[in-house]
Amino acid sequence: MFIFRKKPLFFASLVLLVAFILVSNLPIIKIPLQQVMVLPCRIVSMLTREVSGLIFYHRNFMENRRLKKDIDALEAALARTQEIRLENQRLADLLNFKQKSAVKLIAAKVVARAPDNWTSLILIDKNRLHGIRPAMVVVTSLGLVGRVVDASPPWSKVMLMNDPGFGVSAMAQRSRDIGVVTGTLGSTLLMKYLPKEADIKVSDVIVSSGLTQMYPKGLLIGKVVEVGEEFSGLTKYALIRSAVDLFSLEEVLVMIQ
Amino acid sequence: MRWWNFIFFILGCTILEMTVLAGMSIFGVRPNFLLIIIVSASLFYSLPQAFFLGAFGGLLRDILSRGPFGINAFFAPLWIFFLVKVAQRISTESLGVRVALVFITGIVYAISLRVVLLSLGQSVVGPGAFFRIAFLESLLTAGLMPLVLKAKVWGR
């Protein structure tokens, strides 16, 4: 026989359950409820991970070792790719400059530097057989580098701007004052024989003046970092930071004229 | 090390100077292996052998540099002659004496080279930069000498 008084209890429970489900979907109830559940869930899952880590220790150890080897191999491949990307960027810059330039240019790689401290000389992998001759101007996309002093096989010798034997007639782009730029074996160049009344300031751009026949006009040499007066008091000098980093050259362009 | 094997040592040092050591400089100055060759040859080999080795090292330097051709090939044997004469008068067994020899040879070698270049009308750096480079070069080379001597491959 059906007990009547149980039915109201059943229906009341059902109604309460439906109401609870509907109400708990409201954000005002849902969010706090979820937040209450977060911490216990985290604790339990952490405990589960630790316990499974202990149980499956050997498997995890072997997988860890394999993954470390994969990481090492990938890091080595990444380093090689990075080097290729950098070389590609440098060659793209050179090619862009070469395409825009009105003169014929030959690209060459720097293979070595002269072994003594009293000259600033690099050896490039192109020579007379490739069309290079002494006195040809050497540049990069950033500016003037130097000139060829010897083109005998198997390589050519290029005297850099910071060699004491180098000299080029140059001018300040802003004031058009003319002087001679020569090397000091360091990272700065010396522009000398500037008139006493020359209007030269720090940060002035120095370019080739074209008065030295072998150097085309307008080749970027560098920027002024210091201005001073010569000991005699008759002329001024300026120290110039070259536009090209002469200590880390890897590729250069030789201007064929 | 037999004196003819020393030729390979000279070649190896030159290649190192031009490639690997080219990027490893202190204030833009690198050690001078020609100095090491000159002092080692004069200390460990007979005069004719040391003369030949010094000339070979100097000639290699002249071929790969820009200066007047033959200047190092001339000076290196000359300094070997002087060093052999010095070694006959004073004891060079001590490491300190050998390092001092390298340092002094470096300074005097640089000064003599500068005098010759100036008299030939060649362009040289100013005196300030010259003394900085000469001093640093001699110091670095003298500092490297104990490592070279420790190799214990020399003839005597």
Report DSSP letters for B18-71, one per residue: HTTGGG--BTTB---HHHHHHHHHHHHS-HHHHHHHHHHHHHHHHHHSSS-TTH
CB proximity list for B106: less than 8 A, separation 6 or greater: B32, B35, B134, B137, B138, B141, B142
Asked whether the predicted pLDDT for residue B50 surpasses 80, the reply is yes
- Check whether A39 has a pLDDT greater than 90: no
Q: How confident is the model at residue A30 (pLDDT cuts 50, 70, 90)?
A: low
Mean pLDDT of all residues in B135-151: 85
Here the tokens at position A208 are 């080739």
Does the pLDDT of residue A22 top 70, yes or no?
no
Over residues A118-135, the mean pLDDT reads: 90
Predicted pLDDT of residue A32:
67
| Closest-CA distance of chain A to residue B91, Å | 30
pLDDT at residue B52 greater than cutoff 50: yes
Instruction: Kindly report the nearest CA distance between residue A159 and chain B, in angstroms.
Output: 8
Question: For A78, what's the count of Cα atoms within 13 Å in the CB-facing half-sphere?
Answer: 6
Chain B residues with CB under 8 Å of A189 CB are none
Chain B interface includes A113 (CB < 8 A): yes
Mean pLDDT within A102-110: 85
The SS3 of residue A246 is: coil
Which amino acid would we find at residue A181? V
Please compute the mean of the pLDDT values over residues A39-52 and round it to a whole number.
75
Residues A206-212, mean pLDDT to the nearest whole number: 89
Residue of A185, A188, A230, A245 to mutate when probing chain B, most B C-beta within 10 A: A185
pLDDT level of residue B63 (50, 70, 90 thresholds): confident
Q: How many Å apart are CA B3 and CA B49, to the nearest integer? A: 7
- pTM of structure: 0.71
Tens digits of residue pLDDT in B102-136? 899 899 988 988 888 888 888 788 888 888 899 99
Decide: helix, strand or coil at residue B122.
coil
- pLDDT band per the 50, 70, 90 thresholds, residue B156: very low
Read off the pLDDT of each residue in B45-74 and give the average, rounded to a whole number: 85
Interatomic CA distance for residues A192 and A164, integer angstroms: 13
Q: How far is CA A242 from CA A97, A224, A234, in A?
A: 18, 9, 25
Looking at residues B58-69, what average pLDDT do you find?
A: 83
Mutate to test the interface with B, among A110, A117, A148, A166 (most CBs of B within 10 A): A117
B19 — pLDDT class (breaks 50, 70, 90): confident
- What is the predicted pLDDT for the residue at A161? 94
Q: Is residue B83 a contact partner of residue B104, using CB atoms and an 8 Å limit?
A: no
Sign of the alpha-carbon torsion through A74, A80, A83, A89: negative
Concatenated DSSP letters of A109-170: EEEEE-SSSS--EEEES--GGGT--TT-EEE-SSSEEEEEEE--TT-EEEEETTSTT-EEEE
pLDDT for position A23: 64
Mean pLDDT confidence for B20-34: 82
pLDDT above 90 covers what percent of chain A?
A: 29
Closest approach of A121 to chain B, Cα-based (Å): 7
Query: How high is the pLDDT of residue A27?
Result: 64
What pLDDT score was predicted for residue A60?
83
Residues with Cβ within 8 Å of residue A199, at least 6 apart in sequence: A172, A174, A175, A177
Distance, C-alpha A110 to centroid of its chain: 19
Cβ under 8 Å to B: A residues 181-240: 182, 184-187
Full DSSP string of A169-230: EEEETTT--EEEEEE-SSSEEEEEEEETT----TT-EEEE-S-STTSPTT-EEEEEEEEEE-
Whether B66 and A157 lie within 8 Å, measured CB to CB: yes
Q: Tell me the per-residue pLDDT of A138-179, one tens digit each, with 9 for 90 and over.
A: 999 889 999 999 988 888 999 999 998 899 999 998 889 999
Average pLDDT, chain A: 84
> Based on the number of CB atoms within 10 Å of its own CB, is A114 exposed (0-12), middle (13-18) or buried (19 or more)?
buried
Among A16-30, A215-229, B132-146, the range scoring the smallest mean pLDDT is A16-30
A218 Rama class: left (phi>0) / alpha (psi -120 to 50) / beta = left
Say if strands A137-139 and A251-256 run parallel, antiparallel, or are unpaired.
Answer: antiparallel
Give B125→chain A minimum CA distance, Å: 6
Confidence category of residue A99, pLDDT binned at 50, 70, 90: low
pLDDT in tens, A168-206: 999 998 889 999 999 988 889 999 999 988 899 999 999
Q: How far is CA A38 from the centre of its chain?
A: 46
From the CB of residue B15, how many other CB atoms can be counted at a distance below 10 Å? 13
